[in-house]
């Protein structure tokens, strides 16, 4: 590897919107994220269905058994 062309890779602090923090390695000292494994629905098992335009109800009405 050539010297002097690679970025400085050091310890970084990751901060989630839910308040969770953990350490990783990056070129930036602090990384802010919106969602992490503590608050993501896939990992928590809590599915949040965002339906602002009524698409789910429209689908259910259209394909409901008569």
Assigned CATH topology for domain 10-62: Rhinovirus 14, subunit 4 (4.10.80)
**Tokens 């989630």 sit at which residue?**
16
pLDDT exceeds cutoff 90 at 51: no
State residue 18 phi and psi, 5-degree precision: -80, -10
Please tell me the predicted confidence (pLDDT) of residue 2.
84
pLDDT in tens, 3-45: 889 898 899 999 998 889 999 999 999 999 988 888 877 767 7
42 vs 17: CA distance, rounded Å: 17
């Amino acid at each position: 590897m050539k010297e002097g062309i690679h970025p400085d890779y050091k310890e970084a602090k990751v901060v989630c919107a839910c308040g969770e923090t953990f350490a990783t390695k990056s070129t930036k000292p602090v990384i802010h994220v919106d969602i992490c494994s503590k608050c993501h629905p896939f990992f928590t098992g809590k599915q949040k269905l965002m339906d602002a335009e009524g698409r789910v109800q429209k689908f259910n009405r259209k394909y409901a058994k008569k």
